[in-house]
Structure 1
């Protein structure tokens, strides 16, 4: 779930997320889902925990994910990481 939004010094935004289940990994596909349905889909290009770059984070962690080409995220939107089959 999105708990914070930050302006990126370069294009786009950084979404602050709390991981409630599973694992987020750099390179994994994800989507942002609002009350109206899916809004955005992409891949995790970079992720930070406490301003430190990480490759993976699990349940209970708060992470920042940079989205370079979209600014439509809102607080409370769901972030879902999934595996392609």
Structure 2
């Protein structure tokens, strides 16, 4: 699945951070950002600084793939099912 919105990306970052058992403050320190910045990114803030987002993705071990090719709705066989992560995050909202 493609990440289509800042909220989709935030859900992936939050899910991976939790999977690695990192709290927001620890991730923020590793990125060189504030905890508030991590909170905003995880909530899908659309104006997050790209350099920090890329640093977060790198620190969390998230693979960023910019492949150009035919569109498909199938998740990569060796990747994370982003559809499931996003659906889970949407269900968790109050």
TM-score scaled by length of structure 1: 0.25
More helix by share: 2
Indicate the structure with greater strand content: 1
